[in-house]
A and B are shown apart, each in its own frame.
Chain A
Amino acid sequence: MSADGIAGRQETAAPAIELKGISKAFGPVQANKDISIRVMPGTIHGIIGENGAGKSTLMSILYGFYKADKGEIFISGRKTDIPDSQAAISAGIGMVFQHFKLVENFTVLENIILGAEDGGLLRPSLAKARRSLVELAEEYGLNVNPDALIEEIGVGMQQRVEILKALYRRADILILDEPTGVLTPAEADQLFRILGRLREEGKTIILITHKLREIMEATDTVSVMRRGEMTATVKTSETSPAELAELMVGRKVLLRVDKKPATPGDVVLDIKGLRVVDDQKVERLKGIDLQVRAGEILGIAGVAGNGQSELLEVLGGYADGTGEVMLNGHPLALSGTGADGRSRRTQGIGHVPEDRQREGLIMDFAAWENTAFGYHRSDAYKSGLLLNNAAIRSDTEGKMARFDVRPPDPSLAAKSFSGGNQQKIVLAREIERNPDLLLVGQPTRGVDIGAIEFIHQQIVALRDQGKAILLVSVELEEILALADRVAVMFDGHIMGERLSSETDEKELGLLMAGVGS
């Protein structure tokens, strides 16, 4: 059959999945805003977007984990209610989660029948599953040992089990959420071969990822999500990584930061060959070389998940790494003794973490307690063996005034402040310690415009005092406005460095997509 013929058939057939006007809010956060999408049967449809763009929420709605506030779901042209996972399964939807939902000390076979048993006794169910596993293995090339324990097989194999689970339940629509996050490149290639095979057999596949390369390689059509909205749906063959990167990161109100040209001094931070391997034994940093000088802001750009978080974590002292990192000419411990937040702070590194609610603050604690964290051993905060609460409070009051935290009440719990004011508390704590090097991650994520400006001013002011600043942000606009120099990270590597005055979004976008250098 000719390509035209296939395309013609797809036009007339009902979409395998059609979402109309799906909206979902979690409290004040609008995770999905009026999302509509059509996925044709027998295609691989990519959904791309940064972390927190709302991809997973959308798929959780499709799989019955959440109920949409508004909107309708059509499966093969029929309006379908999906109140729970059971309904999704009977509608022919299978989901492979980013974090596998397998019982570790069960066998492959037991995991496959769980929830889809035939009758009250296990023996017939297991026998049936064993037979059908042989068929599925032949049909799709999905070979697994049915009697292996999950905890004894690798992640690539575990993912196969997840796919088999869905196929065993007769899924026609398969959703894969960030499937390659834990896979080696070879395993990922194998996965895409399997997906191609499934498409040939007429299955519809939705591939959620933030990796542009996978979208370009594997999908027929792609939808881009940004901040809860579906910004575009295009044919993969008619787009480019650079265009997708731009759609993902987006353009917002032009940010303007008043700053004088930088006057870089001595090298404060010198990183050579830095590597980080995560808990799943995946290498996240693959030999990073960077330098940050006194009096300059180095911005790290990149699509989220390309190693920026790991870079901050290892420099902040709470992930282990290998390589050589010098601060003012002295080596930093990258694992074992001395590789912890306390040592880093005494050595002169301040850290404004990416996720202020989880790493920067204790949300149930008061502002004054949060102000003391990390520095609670300092003499100013102590009286004898005890904390000098009065001193901490009055110090916090000063900080809140200087950083314009509203309301300026030190005894209020951190969770009672708005995102911008929470960030100001963290920033005040770290900046007022006068660090030689300040690590800043996503300083304005979820922060309102007014606070963004103020936070940017504070960071520039610190630079002008001759301090070194390493800024990680997924907002290109922010990087270009704030940084003096930009390094682009892709897949654990530095793709290239540019002076921010001599580059633009287009060039950086290409680097972010892993193209050229």
Chain B
Amino acid sequence: MDFLTLIQLLDSTVRLATPLLLACLAGLFSERAGIFDIGLEGKMLAAAFFSAAIAALTGSVWLGLLAGIAASMSLSLLHGLASITFRGNQLISGVAINFLAAGLTVLIAQDWFQQGGRTPSLMGGGRFEPITLPFAEALAQVPLLGPIYSELISGHSILVYIAFATVPLTWWVLYRTRFGLRLRAVGENPAAVDTAGVSVVALRYAAVLICGVLCGIAGAYLSTALQAGFVKDMSAGRGFIALAALIFAKWRPWYALYATLLFGLFGALETRPDVIEAVIGIRVQGQLLGALPYIMTVIILAGFVGKAIPPRAGGTPYVKER
């Protein structure tokens, strides 16, 4: 495998890891506050559709992004209503949101565009275009570092940079701010937060809304940056892989970055079986790579590689007790 192939492979790793990373961090905010969210998938899908649809209708990808975030946040609110206000089962609410999004996106797409449940292909201002970082052209000829800068680091859409910047931001919010302290506390022991005179409900709503924003960006990335338009079920299980990555990352921001990059690499390799064959000499089925994130998560959950302890109050609605 030559150097350029490696760069290409890593480049597509970054692109495939981006939606996973955003969704994973979205789940991290929600679950750290004690609200399990298996509706990441549905929120991404809804955001993907509304971003593409509004971008197609207005010609502005930024309006599309806002629409995607708004759609995702509405589903977050629904999840919050069911699991925080009405203390329902968080898993059931999440499943419902996934089904709702899968059905509604296609239905509305067909009603609006009559293209078999897709949106029209996005062009020009309807898409997030790759950004060429300063001096990318000039530095391209520098050996080793040149291609890394110009091919791998430069040339992604703005959403990719946002996603990677969200990692240190999330870490900072969680561990350096009052909000982060309270958020982590409410996922571990909401009674402690409540007796300290802080609203459990408000904190948890804030968490699911942040989750909605990040899922919205992830969804918008799928349909307006990675692809050019919405197609049916285009989230393709990424919400679930993000959940797997979240467990793999033990609910920590930096680990989330590593986990999603690893899972992104599996995704990139899935499309390049020739690379694997060249490196290890065995032909590996693409499906096996697709399944790897799940297999690794099972191994982690079984406790073979360290222990993944979820937030202790996760999944249980908070009821005041005597």
Binding site for B on A (CB under 8 A): 56-57, 60, 63, 65, 84-86, 88-89, 95, 97, 101-106, 110-111, 113-117, 119-123, 125, 165
Contact = CB atoms under 8 A, between A and B. Distances in A.
The listed residue with most B CB atoms (<10 A of its CB), out of A88, A101, A104, is: A101
Contact of B191 (A88, A101, A105, A113): A101
Contacts of A84: 197
Contacts of B179: 120
A488 B229 CA distance: 79
A85 B195 contact: yes
B232 to A, nearest CB: 42
B198 A122 contact: no
Contacts of A115: 182, 193, 196-198
A106 B181 CA distance: 9
Contacts of B162: none
9 contacts: A101-B194, A102-B192, A114-B192, A116-B196, A117-B178, A121-B177, A121-B178, A122-B175, A125-B178
B31 to A, nearest CB: 15
Interface in B155-202: 175-182, 184-185, 188-189, 191-198
**Helix, strand, loop or mixed for chain B's interface?**
helix
B322 to A, nearest CB: 5
Given A65-B322, A104-B312, A105-B188, A114 B193 contact: yes
B198 to A, nearest CB: 5
A188 to B, nearest CB: 23
A517 B141 CA distance: 96
B194 A85 contact: yes
Interface in B53-98: none
B192 A101 contact: yes
A97 B189 contact: no
Nearest to B191: A101
The 8 A-B pairs with the shortest beta carbon distances in the complex, nearest first, are A115-B196, A86-B197, A101-B192, A117-B178, A101-B195, A85-B197, A115-B198, A103-B188
Given A65-B320, A85-B197, A115-B198, A106 B188 contact: yes
Given A85-B197, A114-B181, 14 more contacts: A65-B322, A85-B196, A86-B197, A89-B197, A101-B189, A105-B188, A106-B184, A111-B192, A114-B196, A115-B193, A117-B178, A117-B181, A121-B178, A122-B178
Interface of B: 175-182, 184-185, 188-189, 191-198, 312, 320, 322
Contacts of B193: 114-115
B288 to A, nearest CB: 36
A120 B185 CA distance: 15
Contact of B185 (A56, A106, A119): A106
A56 B192 contact: no
Contacts of B198: 86, 114-115
A60 B322 contact: yes
A57 B322 contact: yes
A95 B192 CA distance: 11
Contacts of A104: 188-189, 312
A103 B313 CA distance: 10
Contact of A122 (B181, B194, B320, B322): B181
B76 to A, nearest CB: 23
Contacts of A56: 322
Nearest to B175: A122
Contacts of A121: 176-178
Contacts of B176: 121-123
A104 B177 CA distance: 19
B103 to A, nearest CB: 33
Nearest to A84: B197
A89 B193 CA distance: 13
Contacts of A114: 181-182, 185, 192-193, 196, 198
A119 B178 contact: yes
B177 A120 contact: yes
B181 A110 contact: yes
Contacts of A111: 192
Nearest to B189: A103
Nearest to A99: B191
B189 A102 contact: yes
A191 B196 CA distance: 22
A106 B192 CA distance: 11
Nearest to B194: A85
Nearest to B322: A56
B191 to A, nearest CB: 5
A117 B177 CA distance: 10
A110 B181 CA distance: 8
Contacts of B196: 85, 89, 101, 114-116, 165
Nearest to B320: A65
Nearest to A59: B322
A104 B178 CA distance: 18
A86 B198 CA distance: 7
* Among B191, B197, B320: residue with most chain A CB under 10 A: B197
A97 B320 CA distance: 13
Contacts of A105: 188
A379 B262 CA distance: 57
Contact of A113 (B181, B184, B188, B194): B181
A436 B223 CA distance: 73
A106 B185 CA distance: 8
A104 B188 CA distance: 8
A394 B93 CA distance: 41
Contacts of A89: 196-197
Contacts of B185: 103, 106, 114
Contacts of A123: 176
A121 B181 CA distance: 10
Contacts of B181: 106, 110, 113-114, 117, 122
A85 B196 CA distance: 7
A165 B197 CA distance: 12
Contacts of B191: 101
Contacts of A101: 189, 191-192, 194-196
A122 B177 contact: yes
A93 B74 CA distance: 39
A120 B179 CA distance: 7
Contacts of B180: 122
B188 A95 contact: no
A125 B195 CA distance: 19
Residue of A56, A86, A111, A114 ringed by the most chain B CB atoms within 10 A: A114
Contacts of B175: 122
A114 to B, nearest CB: 5
Nearest to A116: B196
B5 to A, nearest CB: 44
Contacts of A165: 196
Contacts of A110: 181
A85 B193 CA distance: 10
A229 to B, nearest CB: 18
A468 B196 CA distance: 51
Contacts of A86: 197-198
A113 B177 CA distance: 12
A117 B182 CA distance: 10
Nearest to B312: A104
Contact of A120 (B178, B188, B189, B197): B178
Contacts of A113: 181
B199 to A, nearest CB: 9
A301 B320 CA distance: 33
Nearest to A88: B197
A25 B205 CA distance: 31
Nearest to B198: A115
